[in-house]
Structure 1
Amino acid sequence: MAKRVWQTIKVQYCRHVGREVSLEAEVIYPDEHLPDEKPRIVAHRCSRGAECGLLSEAACIWAGTNPDVDPFAEKPDTPETK
């Protein structure tokens, strides 16, 4: 039987709630009878998502209230000026 597990991807400070949050992914691991299948990520969440939902302004994609904002996305490296 496949196994569903919530795994922490990273932990960092969130300005919206004013504290550290855990960004988590729900991973489905295949049944042991299908060893060639890779684990799949099916959902994302924030450990403080419910708290963000109670605030007056929309937060981010991790809290599920604003799909256009991901404040934890990796920022691309900027080329150095010479």
Structure 2
Amino acid sequence: MAKKVWQVEKTKYCEHLQENVAIEVEVVHPAEQLPEQAPRIVARRCNKAIECNCMEHPACSLSGTNPGIDPVE
């Protein structure tokens, strides 16, 4: 059976929150029967997305409020 885990991809400074945040990715590892397949990234998130959503201005695509700004670039 495939295994899903959240892993920290990188940390960076967020201009909106004015502090460091962790960019996390959800990785799906293949089942043991399919070892030749590479793990796949299926989602990204920020560990401070809830704090961003509580602010009055839209932040970025990882918090779900501003799809035009991608902080991963």
Output the TM-score relative to the length of structure 1. Answer: 0.83
Determine what percentage of the aligned residue pairs are the same residue.
Answer: 48
Map residues 12-23 of structure 1 onto 2, 5 A cutoff.
12-23=12-23
Does residue 48 (structure 1) correspond to residue 48 (structure 2)? The answer is yes
Which position in structure 2 is the counterpart of 1:38? 38
Structure 2: which amino acid aligns with 1:50? I
Q: Aligned to 2:61, what secondary structure does the other structure show?
A: coil
Taking a change above 3 Å as real, the CA distance of residues 2 and 65 of structure 1, as seen in their structure-2 partners, is same
- Aligned equivalents of 1:54, 1:5: Cα separation in 2: 27
- Aligned equivalents of 1:27, 1:71: Cα separation in 2: 19
Map residues 1-82 of structure 1 onto 2, 5 A cutoff.
1-73=1-73
Structure 2: which amino acid aligns with 1:22? A
Output the TM-score relative to the length of structure 2. Answer: 0.92
Q: Aligned to 2:33, what secondary structure does the other structure show?
A: coil
Runs (5+) with no aligned partner, structure 2: none
Of Structure 1 and Structure 2, which has the larger fraction of its residues in strand?
2
Q: Aligned to 2:58, what secondary structure does the other structure show?
A: coil
CA shift, 1:43, in A, is 0.4
CA shift, 1:65, in A, is 1.2
CA shift, 1:72, in A, is 3.9
- Aligned equivalents of 1:67, 1:39: Cα separation in 2: 26
- Aligned equivalents of 1:31, 1:72: Cα separation in 2: 28
CA shift, 1:63, in A, is 1.3
Q: How many residues align?
A: 73
Higher Rg: 1
